[in-house]
Structures are given as C-alpha cells and as structure tokens.
Amino acid sequence: MNQRIKTHCQKWRKILSQNNSAVRTKTAKTSNTAKTKTTKSSAKQSAKKSYSPAKSGKKSGATQSTQTKKYKKNYYSASKKKKQTQEPVVKPSVRIMFLGGLNEIGKNMTLFECMGDMVLLDCGMAFPDGEMLGVDLVIPDFTYVEQNKDKLKGIIITHAHEDHIGGLPYLLGKVNVPIYGASLTNGIIGNKLREHSLPKSPELIDVKAGERIRLGCMEIEFIHVNHSIPDATAVALHTPAGTIIHTGDFKIDFTPTWGGPTDLNTFARLGDEGVLCLLADSTNASRPGFTTTEQTVSSSFDKIFTNAMNKRIIIATFASNVGRVQSIINCAHKYGRKVAFSGRSMVNYMSVASELGYLDIPEGILIDIDMLGKYLPEQVVLVTTGSQGEPMSALSRMAYSDHRKVSVGEGDCIIISANPIPGNERTVGNVVDELLKRGCEVIYESMYEVHVSGHARQDELKIIHCLTKPKYFIPVHGEQKHLRKSRDLAISMGMAKENVFIGDVGSCVELHDDYMKELAPVQAGKVFVDGLGVGDVGSIVLRDRKHLGQDGLIIIVASLDVYDGHVISGPDIVSRGFVYVKESESLFDEIRHIALDVLEDCADRNIHEWGVIKNRIKDGVSKHISDKTRRYPMILPILMEV
C-alpha cells in the first residue's frame, strides 16, 4: 500500500516538475534576450560618448574629479543600500485558535490571526447527546470572536454541512463581516439565514476552486476536494509567516458523482513552494486503505431497485448529500419511478441545488408528496430526512405512525443511506426496530453498500502528507481517538513528534519558522440552543432536567402565619414521576408529617429565613425517602405567608 502511495506522489511530482521546467526554460530564454538587448544598447551609448569633442585639460580634470566624487558618493550610497537589504527580515508568527471541532464531532470553528488580522474558518453546530435533555443543538462559544470583531476580516466556509455552517445565524447576530464560499455553499447559507430573519444580512461572496482572495495580510486560496456534498474546498492561507493548509472535510475519489477528483496537483505545488503547517481531517484516520468511491452506492441502488420491482422505495439520507440524491433520481428515471421529497431540510436543500444547477432532474419525474397516493407503490421513490433517527424527522414520524401524509408497512422497502453519527446509534436502532415491527423491509449499510464516507482514510491522508511536506502538523475534525491516530500516522511518515500538536477546544498555538508553541487558552466551549433561547440553558439546568427525568419531583406546599411563622394550612404534597400516589399513601403521610415538624420547629426557634427553612425540609424529606425507597427525587418546597 505504501508503494501505491509513493507511486501516486511520484506521478504528481513528475507532472509538476515538467511544468516548472518548461516555465524555467521560457524564463531563461527571455532573460538571455533581455541581456543581449541591454549589451547592444550599452555599446551604442559608449560609442556616442567616445566621439564627444575633447575639453581643455583643466576643465577636463575638474570634470573628472567631479565624476570621481560622484562615483564615490554613489558607490557608498549603493553600499549602504546593499547592506540594508542584506539585513535579516524578521518573519512574523501566526496564531491558530480552535473554538470547536477538536475532541468532538461537529461544531467546527477555527480562527487564524497574523499581524493583527483575523480570519474565521467555518462556524458549525453539533447534535446534542443523550445527557442534554431538551436541547435542540449545540454551537460554539463566540465570546472570543466578539471581543476581537474589529480584527475579523471575513469568514471562510469550506462546505455547506451543518457541522460547518449551523452556527452562522447565531454568530452573525453579533458580528457582520463578509462570508466567502462556493456557489452551492452560499446558496444553502443564504436560505438558512433567511429562516432566522437576521436584522442585517451579511454579504455572501461566491468563490471558485483555484481562486484567491485577500483578507488583511492573508491571501486565501481555495482548492477543490471531494466530499459528500458538491463544492467542498480545502484552503491554503498564505500568510507573512508562511502557508497553512486546512483540508476541510475531504477524501480522494477518482470517480466522483459530481465534479473532478481532488486537486492533488495544487497540493503538490504548495508542497514545493513550502508549507508551514497542515491541518487535516482526522475522522477516518483509524481506518486503513482508501475510502470507497461514491459510484459504489450508485451500483447498490441499482441492485436494490431491481430486487424491489413491486415495492415502494423510501430512502433516508442526509439532505445535504446532493450527489447521492442525484444517484437516486438517476435510478428512479431508469426504472420509470416518480420521485418525491419529504422533510423540510430535504425540500430546502434540493430546491437550492436545483436552482443553482447542481441537480439534473429529468422533466416530469418530480411529484409533490401529496400525489403519492395517485401512483402504485412500484411507481414511486420517496427521498426523506431522518437517517440519524432524529425524533422529529420525517422517517421517525413514519416509523411511529405520526406522519400526516405517509403510512408505512408491508410492501415498503426502506433504505437508510447513512451511518449513524457517534451518539446516534440508539435512536437509529429504535427507528429501524419500529419499521421492522410494521412489516417494512429495512436495508442499511452493513447489508448493502448504501453509504460511503466522505472522509479520507489513512492512505489518502498519507498522500496529502507526502505532497504537502509540512513543517508542522495539527490533526483536526475528530474525537481524541481520531486525532491521536492522525498524529501517529504523521509521525510514521517521518514527522518529528515535537512538530505535531493535538489541541482541545479553546487551545491556542503559535507557529513560526523556528518554533511551534502552545499559548494560554482562549475562552471557548459549548452554548446550548433550546427553542428560541440561546445560552440560557447551562449545566445546572441540564442537571435539573436529568434529575427530574430519572427520579421525579415532589412539591411540598404550605401556608405560614405572617406574624409567627406557624403553619396555617398544609403541607400538601404533589408528586410527578416519583411513585403512584394511591399505592404510596402511607409514604406521603410520612413526608407530610416530616415537613410539618420542620416548619413548626423553625417557628418555635424564630427561624424566618425561607432559604434555611426550605433546605431543612429538603434534607429531612430526602433522607426519609432515600431510607424507604433508595430513590432521590427532586424536592421543591413552596411556602406562602398569610
């Protein structure tokens, strides 16, 4: 396998060497021609001077002396200039701040700073895990960006996946700078921003692979790469400190369904010019070999369509995977089926992709989801969201018989064309189980190759290392296990261990020709979005939600005399999610007596601070319930003065 990688690298270097050789030959010829012309011109000028009329000796001597003085003056002036130009130029350093995307999946966000100018790369979101009860999504902490917004020159987006653009609507409410991305990327971003109704719309500037833009002291070069969405790019940041390459999410696919293969020639050129640091996608760094081509999925779809001639086909995939949806449309057209979309994000993505020309849709093949009932099952394909088992997604609602327009059962062939994101395995498994209970045939990745990754494996990463030859390396985009595998891979290829940096969210590293050092961390972390609330749900709220969900709630309500603090009415007990009240009346009587004793004791002792009284009730009731049931419900005393 290493020999294959070596062959790939040699091939690209040979092509580049030939191109450079041709350029050097042409330059040399031009230079020689220029020299010849200069020599001829100088000879003519010398001839003219030699035929000038002679001056008298005195004047001639004076002239000569003056010329000598001028010559000496010019010589010393030239010497000074020469010495000045030979003084060593001190190169600046560049800083990289990681605000997300390290030791986690999602929430990718990286900030680059050089000579007081900042450029932000990506601004994503992450899915909440099982501990984040009620949280809709997780975004990065933007505090450091807000504090330095005057330095920020622009935002670069590598591609339009949610883990790279999902945080933008929340950031752009606080900073307003131009956003640079490819056509499809900006189309999807624009659609997302319109949904959030921002008070001031940012400038979305389209760029193409191969183009360069200048942001402050940095020049950004966009490089075409393969991924599971069109228009994905890597970026090379040409800074006064040196060139930094960030691969973005990428793989090397020589038979992609959209666009050409990853632009290895540009990576090779940058490597020959000199790369200070490489930041590489580490998602699949633990997997050997090459990532399977997307064409494999197209072949699998063809087989499934052949075997399901008399069934309705429902395919769940990521809404952003435009190339895969194109493969589905191609298969549907081949087998005479109509195509409908289900799920808001699926409809939005396909609408943008179609408008911008990224989908080739045969005339008459698309139908509205309301029209499904007018066709036989074997005449339609439904493309839907829900490949990750999201509770409110279209596929989940079908599985739990909660979809208003689609009912599933026997005669349906359902394909889940995606792998579960880490943490989503259980929710996906639950959806599959529910579909099977309803008699559906369910096909997923382990049965057919209905999904391939959009991320590079080990051999692809080796090719990028070999071509770019970076001085420093920082693995990005992955959990700790992925980052460490990526680091080990770089070291196995000859990278010095001290030249590899594994960071965390908030890490700040300074790069220079002579050193790479970690600086004090910057403020970074997780911000929870719950409904319209952003950042108003923290760890304490999540802890309370978890407590309520696991052990339930007991509310103790009592009315106290405003003058002496003695109980006028109550305590009354209200329970939710703890035990069934009718079967535990004796336990609730005991709780009532404990609360009453505490309240009367506090009144007798002239204790009127409600915080103290409530804590005593909590302690007494919690201990009794724990002794009796080994449970720990949340205790909430409510006191009123009358």
Active site residues per annotation: 281, 455
> Could you give the C-alpha distances from 151 to 147, 177, 244, 245, in angstroms and in order?
9, 10, 19, 21
How far the first Cα of the chain sits from its last, in Å, is: 82
> Could you give the C-alpha distances from 636 to 133, 558, 579, 595, 614, in angstroms and in order?
20, 11, 16, 12, 8
CA 317 to chain centre: 19
The two tokens of residue 397 are 């609602």
Rounded-to-integer distance, Cα 319 and Cα 341, Å: 10
Which one, of 307, 425, 325, 422, lies nearest residue 366 by Cα?
325
Neighbours of 568 (CB within 10 A): 12
Neighbours of 151 (CB within 10 A): 14
Taking each helix axis from N to C end, the angle separating 458-468 and 480-492, rounded to the nearest 10 degrees, works out to 50
Which amino acid makes up residue 55? K
> Could you give the C-alpha distances from 306 to 303, 348, 444, 452, 490, in angstroms and in order?
5, 30, 17, 21, 44
Instruction: Specify whether the CB–CB gap between 151 and 126 falls below 8 A.
Output: no
Rounded-to-integer distance, Cα 444 and Cα 549, Å: 32
Instruction: Tell the burial category of 50 from Cβ atoms under 10 Å away from its Cβ (0-12, 13-18, 19+).
Output: exposed
Which H or E run includes 2? Answer: helix 2-50
Helices (H), 308-442: 322-334, 344-355, 394-399, 425-437
Rounded-to-integer distance, Cα 423 and Cα 387, Å: 13
Neighbours of 31 (CB within 10 A): 10
Rounded-to-integer distance, Cα 106 and Cα 140, Å: 10
Please list, in sequence order, all residues whose beta carbon lies within 8 angstroms of the beta carbon of residue 284, skipping any fewer than 6 positions away: 291, 453, 455, 456, 457, 458, 482
Instruction: Specify whether the CB–CB gap between 340 and 328 falls below 8 A.
Output: no
The two tokens of residue 483 are 């980052």
Instruction: Specify whether the CB–CB gap between 384 and 343 falls below 8 A.
Output: yes
